[in-house]
Structure 1
Amino acid sequence: MNRFLSLLFFLSISVQSQTELNYPEVVYGKENIKASWVSHPDVKGGEDIAVLFRNTFNIIDSKADFIINISADNHYFLYVNGEFVTHGPQLSDIKHYKYETLNVKDYLNPGKNIVAVKVINFGKRRFLGMQSIFTSVMVNGVTENAKIINTTGFNDTWVSTIDKSYKANEVVWRGDGEKAIVGGFYANNPTDIVDMNHYPTHWETLNFDDSGWKKVAFFENASSMGGSIAYLLEPRNLPLLSWDKEQIASIVRSSKPLATEFPVLGTLTLAPNTKTTFLLDQQYVTNGFPELLFSKGKSAIITIKYAENLFGPNNEKGDRNDIANKNLLGYYDEIISNGRDAQKFIPNWMRTFRFIEFEIETKDQELILEKFVNHRSRTTIPSIAQFESDDKMYNDIFDICKRTIDICTQDYFLSDAYYETMQYVGDSKIQGLIWEALSGNAEHTKNAIRQFDHSRDSDGNILGAYPLRSTFIYPTYSLVWVDMIADQYNSSGDKEFIHTYKDGIINTLAGFEKNMNDLNLVNKTPYRYFVDWYTGPNNGSGTATKNDGLNSAVVSLHYVHALQNASGLFKAIGDEHTSVKYKNRAQEIIKSVYELCYDTDRNLFAERPDKTIYDQHTNIMAILTDAIPQNEQRALLNKILNEKDLLQATYYYRFYLFEAIKKVGAPELFDVAQKPWEQMINDHMSTTLERFESIEKPTRSEVHPWSASPAYFYFNYLAGIRSVQNDFEEVQIAPAFGKLNEIAGLLPTSKGTIEFKLKRNKNNLSAEITIPKRMKGHLIWQGTERELKEGKNTYIIKNTL
């Protein structure tokens, strides 16, 4: 029990020196923006392209604040006097396009200075979450001294060039040709092909000769009364991403003996006219922007491949630590050397990897690899929660859940870090709760709820993922959006938050009501209901069978769940009429589901009235919605976990299974429900899988936050720590333990960090609990209650039950 409590507390993420000035409160609003969007005069439209921008200027007082706003389409990297500052903008949509606000005075010198910006458009295959109009940049001076670098396109001093070294490398995942990845659907950005022979080395530094560059061209005004011809700007509402140096591990396999431990120790020299392949194993999955420094090697081709795992002969994965007879199949960057010293490559978009493989073909000159490091990217809100128990399996599961959430909390909630990197509603409901437990911060969750609200169509549908340049609609995810608002209110007690979204809730539920038929069950829709990833011959790609969800009991009960949550929200703000309306409608549907789908012979709910399909999902949701009397719910829960012929809830839907266990009060069943995670640990995974393995549908993503829910329930249920008033002004700690006997940890909240050590011996509890200022609460154990005051609380509760 001393895995971490004996160690000094430290943050796992170091915050870079540059900060977003409009977080957490807006100080420099869009009304101060006078600059315009500009581009290179030869840019045609949405082609994949990299454009480099420079502005050389003089200042007298380098100690004075030099505050700027900056944004770009699609993505930018900002340098001042050759030093990297940050990249952006924060992901959003055209109507809510983000800009960063920075004070760059610490990068400036008296006299001449250079601000340089690289802007990437990833082209037609850009990330599906990335909305775009035109390759352009906007830099606006906020302080008077910074107005000298305003982009206008008419009389400014910005110059630009097209980086002819770059082209987008499409990641092939469909069609008849050779695939770049295993597992299908890829919605992330293309990778990079860079020919260093055409790269303007040191372009971001002061002494670079840009006399041959062209003056920038005006694209559009950055703002106007009542709107904009291009982007509707608003300030970034989350902190900047990290740019922390992370060492990459040494070579574990190579095609020939290598006399070095590159990249940990020493350089690696490769002889002329050779082909060399070597594999790096980071031992855990991470993400960021790997940086390669290299020299010489004229015309050498360097291919860098990235993957979460290796694959066996039949694309099986198995033990992730076992690399024998396995290959790396994944996306890659390709670099052609120009033969000079001190060449540098950093990819234009984040890479996710545990394994990296280099394939290098040299020509007539030796190639020297000098350094290879990762610049880790994720939110700089600290994730400081810690958990330890007397069961190593639980500790290991917590670790992989936490790493998954940390990696996938960026400017938004990533559904997975490798294949899609989109923010999905169903995923975000779970990730938001876990992230708040790990960080004590709800800003990412609020950002997701707001962005989903922006996605609603005229029929009330929330897009399944957002921001988005496509149209993914899963009507069940519209319901989950309502559930997310209820989650946020239940933890915060913020009634204004309900008022912000009450009209949206009404619109969304009214839209879903159109899907209901005369049986009070759901009809087919033009879209796809998504419940979970099912397996078996009747797999409906998100529903239990291929009937498009017609008369689905579980989908109908998801509607009930949202109606019940909405009823509670409207009751909280005093709208009794709407509250009762939703409550009554929920009861009507419950009555129909019970009468049409409950099997009195099996004492189970069927998935449809024809009673041909039975799954865990319908019965889990029946418990959560009280579609079955409370005194029968424990028996139903036992059946859910013991009836072997039920279609199984995968990692995603087991969040709801854990909720049902908590609702019924059956901690002894928690370990049974968690069993699938044990295989991940046995396979030495460092992050969590997307779904169960099957021959028909092998898993893709190995960094999938919707599968990280045990970490949330370790705190919320097994340790029993919950806010009962105004976002942890008052806390209740009612440990359930499950199979555990000792639990300890740190739980951050908006009011400070709770430290706890809980130990049970038969029916007795010993507890050491330290709660911060501005917090009070109660410790509850088997009907006995003790007061918790700020500071350290020590109790031994003996119970004779």
Structure 2
Amino acid sequence: MERPPYFVLACVPFRRSLPSFLALYVAFLFPFALPSAGVAQTAPPFSRAQWIAPPDGPQKDRGIDYFRRILTETQPPAKLQVHVSADARFLLYVNGAFAGEGPAHSDLAHWKYETFDLAPYLRKGENVIAAVVWNLGVDAAAATVSSRTAFLMESADPADSTLDTNDAWEVEPATGREPISLDYSKVLLGYYAAPPGERIDGTRYDWQWSTSGAAVGAWKHAASIGTPAPFGKQNGATIWALQPDTLPPMERSPVAFGKIVRSDGFTHKDIPAHTHAHILFDRGALTTAYPAFTFSGGRGATIRATYAEALLDGQNRKGNRNEIAGRHILGVADEFTTDGGDHRTFTPLEWRAWRYLELDIATAGTPLHLDDATATFTAFPFHLAGSFQSEDPELSRIWQTSWLTARLDAHDTYMDTPYWERLQYVGDTRLQALISYSLAGDDRLARQAIDAIDHSRTADGLTQSRYPSNLPQIIPPFSLLWIGMVHDFWMYRDDPSYVQSHLPGVETVLRWHLAHQRPDGLLGTMPWWNFGDWSKGFHFGVPPQDPDGGSSLLTLQFIEALRNAAHMETPLGQPAIAALYQEAADRAANALRTKCWNGSLGLIADTPAQNHYSQQANALAVWLHVVPPGSERAVMQTVLRFDDPAYLQAHPGVPFSTASYYFRFYLARGLEAAGLSDRYLDTLGPWRQMIALGLSTWAEEPEPTRSDSHAWSAHPAYDMLRLVAGISPAEPGFATVLIEPHPGTLKAFSAKYPHPRGEIAVTYRQSELTDRFEIAMPRTLAGVFRWQGKTYALRQGAQTFDIPRSKER
């Protein structure tokens, strides 16, 4: 009886750091007994404070509460550092001024705490340290993991326990504040998993909760519910395993609210009594921000603020995003009721995503004045360090729109869409991390993502498809793409110990897939959701399969993961494991050539039955050099014709599937492997069409699309640097660089790339006789420049290459 491949893997010594037999035993029977990958084994500083909660409020049900401590200072200190956490989220204020937020999204086994310096907000005399804490229970966003309502604060100074949370703190329910509980997916006509809208009743609201220590309201002493449990602590008394948040604070900066483009019942910010008014604002571009609406007077008026990516026509179609006439708004909404006071500011606890915002206002017996409407932008604090410019102004639009999309889809985690889901999916996140390395020169959020997905691992070794999440979802191919994320990090960042810490997780993913590899080398049928791409002919995203499996696309993703893992294992782990991976990859590749290659069409079929073909499978087969040697160029030329009606008419009865916006990233990898990168710019037609439709960020899929801001569509900016400017790592850790430009039809371009050692700059100018390249390299970085099949050594500093133009160009 033939041994299944996973048995062979189990017989290889698992980690060099353990005795061979013990390592084998631990790895095979208890694959998660090794130290958590990517996490420093250091104890948080909590030793005095207690987790606190309302003494008589809901525990695991939804609740919003205010916590406060009054601090009297005769002379404010120069520094007052505190560590703060909560379940599920908090906003911290000192004397009414915003001081911080958190905790960063995570899970109970890796719960985050934040650190703030409160000194800049303190004054002589009485100071109010206050936090609003919310736990929305069943109404919470899918990305929110929670146990029960709780709050925690401790001074970083071991000699100062004044602000440590205990029963000396006070708490009151946030009366007048509640989530709007709806079936948002049904109301919004699309899958929705982001935070709900919020209702604030100003007639019941405590307007002084963060500014006054007076005994008004329903303040009570908080209840202590247990001592904090640092990550790794034995027999912790509370469920949150605390770790410091390694991310920087999210950006908060003023941003334009938008201009009024339609209104009725509204004149110069005044709405008369007994009036129903509508005010529609258009920002011109999507944002992620905290809106704030300030009103005076108008007791009993109701305001509904609706947020949307686009307006809809009578058939609920988006169409051109700039069109307003005859269109209506449908979206997540907040609701406010005014108490008649002056300068009352309403803002939701959660940030909102919108381009269009409509205020629907109904006044009661007194007029209402709109004092102001402002917005505070928030996102991960990326800074654009890369650049790409050319004579084609539309390419600049594509670059800018890709960057805006990437920014709005990055907060304390990456997310697929800031409006609809806010979930960190592996397929999207892999591309987002590459954008972060290449455009921002920043790997901080990518590390968070790699760690989080590793922490999501289930008992059988697979990672979850998205994490953190309170709704588990398993997509086995996304576990393979997570291995790709680890490998990408290895190529772009010089931190081998970090990569090595994730190899145990890589091994568990591949062990599971090796158990599903058929004797012929292809992957068999697999449980869970084997999503490949949103494409015609892929049932609910799953590529075609025969009754016994044999999907070429899934097998190709398996091959990529095996090769990536072997590439990392050889220098960082176990060469014997690397050899096993390579053998499994070779068997899978040989099976694809033998069973799925159709010589008459010159394509890889989607299954051995050879009754369906896709751009997805063929692009991967070319990228991974699985097609017969020498056929790569011809295959990709054929693949590019899948959108050509003439080609389809010439092959009646042959089903073809084309790549989505997302999978066109891998289509570009096929072009690169086939030596056709000069055709990359020709493939940007879908992005040019989105610009023509007025989108300010990239859509999830072609019309009709649910989401107008989807991170997986932002990859053209990455490939402007990698393919057009030709800048890519030549070795792991980006130790050396390869610059191999492919300007296509461009006659000039300039690009800058933020390498960890400094900026790489490439400028191209085409003249009648020569191609001129001006390249500037940072100190200590070596590399090669390749053009028209010739290779030139690169040195640090500036250098110029004037190369006679070939007849082909």
Task: Give the C-alpha shift of residue 379 in structure 1.
Answer: 1.2
Q: Is the 8 A contact 1:80 1:107 kept in 2?
A: yes
The 2-side partners of 1:46 and 1:107 are apart by: 33
Question: Could you tell me how far apart the structure 2 residues matched to 1:732 and 1:457 are?
Answer: 39
CA offset at residue 778 of structure 1?
Answer: 3.7
CA gap of 1:554–1:26, structure 2 versus 1, over 3 A, is closer
Amino acid at match of 1:496: S
Quote the Cα distance in structure 2 between the aligned partners of 1:160 and 1:763.
Answer: 77
Task: After TM superposition, list the pairs within 5 Å mapping 1:31-42 onto structure 2.
Answer: 31-42=45-56
Q: CA deviation at 1:519?
A: 4.1
For residue 112 of structure 1, what is the aligned residue in structure 2? 126
Equivalences for residues 225-264 of structure 1 within 5 A: 225-226=233-234, 228=236, 229-256=238-265, 258-260=266-268
Q: Report the 3-state secondary structure (helix = DSSP H, G, I; strand = E; otherwise coil) of the residue aligned with 2:429.
A: helix
* Deviation digits for residues 59-87 of structure 1 (CA, Å, limit 9, x no counterpart): 34423321100011111101012111121
1:161 matched to 2:162? The reply is no
Amino acid at match of 2:234: G
Work out which of the residue numbers 80, 93, 100 in structure 2 matches 1:66: 80
Q: CA deviation at 1:27?
A: 13
The aligned residue for residue 699 of structure 2 is 689
**What is the CA deviation profile of residues 667-724 of structure 1, one whole-angstrom value per residue up to 9, with x for unaligned ones?**
232133222111101112110011123xxxx311111111111100000111011233
Conserved in 2, the CA contact under 8 Å of 1:387 and 1:745?
A: yes
The question of whether the paired residues in 2 share the 8 Å contact of 1:311 and 1:326 is answered with: yes
Inter-partner Cα distance in structure 2 for 1:548 and 1:80? 63
Alignment correspondent of 1:101: 115
Distance in 1 between residues matched to 2:519 and 2:754, nearest whole Å: 48
Shift of 1:526: 2.9
2:367 maps to what in 1? 366
How far apart in 2 are the matches of 1:792 and 1:668?
Answer: 25
Shift of 1:775: 3.3
Instruction: Determine the C-alpha separation between the residues in 2 that align with 1:110 and 1:27.
Output: 40
User: What residue identity is the alignment partner of 1:138?
Assistant: L
CA separation of 1:689 and 1:47: change in aligned 2, threshold 3 A? same
Provide the rounded CA distance (Å) in 2 between the counterparts of 1:70 and 1:442: 25
Q: Mark the CA change 1:648 to 1:776 in structure 2 (over 3 Å): closer, same or farther.
A: same
Q: Distance in 2 between matches of 1:636 and 1:333?
A: 52
The offset of 1:208, in angstroms, is: 4.3
**2:774 aligns to what SS in structure 1?**
strand
Which of 652, 671, 688 lines up with 2:662 in the alignment?
652
1:347–1:217 Cα change, 3 Å: same
Please state whether the residue corresponding to 2:384 is helix, strand or coil: coil
- Residue 626 of structure 1 is matched in structure 2 by 625
1:132 alignment partner AA: S
| 1:287 match: secondary structure | strand
| Amino acid in structure 2 at the alignment position of 1:560 | I
Alignment-derived partner of residue 496 in structure 1: 497
Q: Distance in 1 between matches of 2:187 and 2:429?
A: 28
Mapped pair 1:432 → 2:433: yes
Matched, 1:516 2:517: yes
Q: 1:86 aligns with which of 85, 97, 100?
A: 100
CA distance in 1, matches of 2:500, 2:545: 39
SS in 2 for 1:349: coil
Residues 347 and 503 (structure 1 numbering): CA distance in 2 closer, same or farther, change over 3 Å? same
Shift of 1:248: 0.9
Q: Is the contact between residue 720 and residue 734 of structure 1 (CA under 8 Å) also seen in structure 2?
A: yes
User: The residue matched to 2:45 in structure 1 has which SS?
Assistant: helix
Alpha-carbon contact 1:166-1:193 (below 8 Å) kept: yes
1:27 and 1:608 map into 2 onto residues whose CA distance is: 46
Match of 1:181 in 2: 188
C-alpha separation in 2, matches of 1:412 and 1:549: 38
Question: Which amino acid in the other structure matches residue 50 of structure 1?
Answer: I
Specify the SS of the correspondent of 1:506: helix
What per-residue deviation string (whole Å, max 9, x for no partner) do you get for residues 405-462 of structure 1?
Answer: 0111111101111000000111111110011112101121111111111111121111
**How far apart are residue 532 of structure 1 and its match?**
0.4
Secondary structure of the 1:472 match is: coil
Work out which of the residue numbers 707, 717, 728 in structure 1 matches 2:723. 717
Sort the Cα spacing of 1:383 and 1:208 in 2 relative to 1 into closer, same or farther, 3 A.
farther
In structure 2, what is the equivalent of residue 4 of structure 1? none
CA 1:762–1:98: 2 relative to 1, 3 Å: farther
Residue 552 of structure 1 is matched in structure 2 by 551
Contact 2:82 2:116 in 1 (8 A): yes
- TM-superposed CA distance for 1:25, in Å, is 12
Mapped partners of 2:464, 2:478: distance in 1: 8
How does the TM-score come out when normalised to structure 2? 0.90
CA distance in 1: counterparts of 2:546 and 2:343, whole angstroms: 60
Q: What is the distance in 2 between the residues matched to 1:315 and 1:782?
A: 51
- Percent identity between the aligned chains? 28
User: Given that residues 441 and 749 in structure 1 are in contact (C-alpha distance below 8 angstroms), is that contact kept between their aligned partners in structure 2?
Assistant: no
Contact conserved, 1:641 with 1:672, CA < 8 A, in 2?
no
8 Å contact kept, 1:718–1:737: yes
Alpha-carbon distance between aligned partners in 1 of 2:701 and 2:793, rounded to the nearest angstrom: 42
The CA distance in 2 between the partners of 1:33 and 1:785, in whole Å, is 61
For the residues of structure 1 that align with 2:74 and 2:736, how far apart are their CA atoms? 53
Report the Cα distance in structure 2 between the residues aligned to 1:665 and 1:558, rounded to whole angstroms. Answer: 21
Pairing 1:675–2:693 present? no
Looking at structure 1, the residues matched to 188 and 638 of structure 2 have their Cα atoms a distance apart, in angstroms, of 40
Give the corresponding residue for 2:412.
411
The one-letter code sitting in structure 2 at the alignment partner of 1:188 is: A
Q: Contact (CA 8 Å) 1:770, 1:790: kept in 2 or not?
A: yes
User: Which amino acid letter does the alignment assign opposite residue 338 of structure 1?
Assistant: D
Amino acid at match of 2:675: G
* Distance (Å, rounded) in 2 between the aligned partners of 1:212 and 1:649: 58
1:705 matched to 2:711? The reply is yes
How far apart are 1:219 and its partner, in Å? 1.9
Q: Quick check: 1:320 aligned with 2:321? A: yes
What is the CA deviation profile of residues 110-163 of structure 1, one whole-angstrom value per residue up to 9, with x for unaligned ones?
Answer: 33222110001122021111110111110111114652010123xxx3111001
Matched ranges for 1:237-636 at <5 A: 237-256=246-265, 258-260=266-268, 268-535=269-536, 538-545=537-544, 550-573=549-572, 575-636=574-635
User: Structure 1 788/610 Cα, relative in aligned 2: closer, same or farther at 3 Å?
Assistant: closer
Q: Count the aligned residue pairs.
A: 756
Shift of the alpha carbon at 1:88? 1.0
Deviation at 1:386, TM superposition (A): 2.3
**What secondary structure, in the 3-state scheme, does the structure 2 residue paired with 1:601 have?**
coil
Contact 2:642 2:658 (8 Å CA) reproduced: no
| Structure 1 residue 129 corresponds to structure 2 residue 143 | yes
Question: Equivalents in 1 of 2:288, 2:415: separation in Å?
Answer: 12
Residues 122, 189 of structure 1: 8 Å contact kept: no
Deviation, 1:227, is: 5.1
- Contact 2:597–2:627 (CA under 8 A) maintained in structure 1: no
Q: Is the 1:378–1:410 contact (alpha carbons within 8 Å) kept by the matching residues of 2? A: yes
Normalising by structure 1, what TM-score? Answer: 0.91
Change in 2 beyond 3 A, CA 1:754/1:734: same
Question: What secondary structure does 1:148 align onto?
Answer: coil
Q: Residues 187-222 of structure 1, C-alpha deviation per residue, up to 9 Å, x if partnerless?
A: 111110111111100211145445751000112221
Query: Whole-Å Cα distance in 2 between the matches of residues 762 and 372 of structure 1?
Result: 56
The whole-number CA distance in structure 2 between the counterparts of 1:779 and 1:210 is 72
Cα deviation for residue 26 of structure 1 reads 9.0
- Structure 1 residue 32: deviation in Å? 4.2
Letter in 1 for 2:175: K
Which amino acid in structure 2 is aligned with residue 180 of structure 1? Answer: V
Q: Which residue of structure 1 aligns with residue 652 of structure 2?
A: none
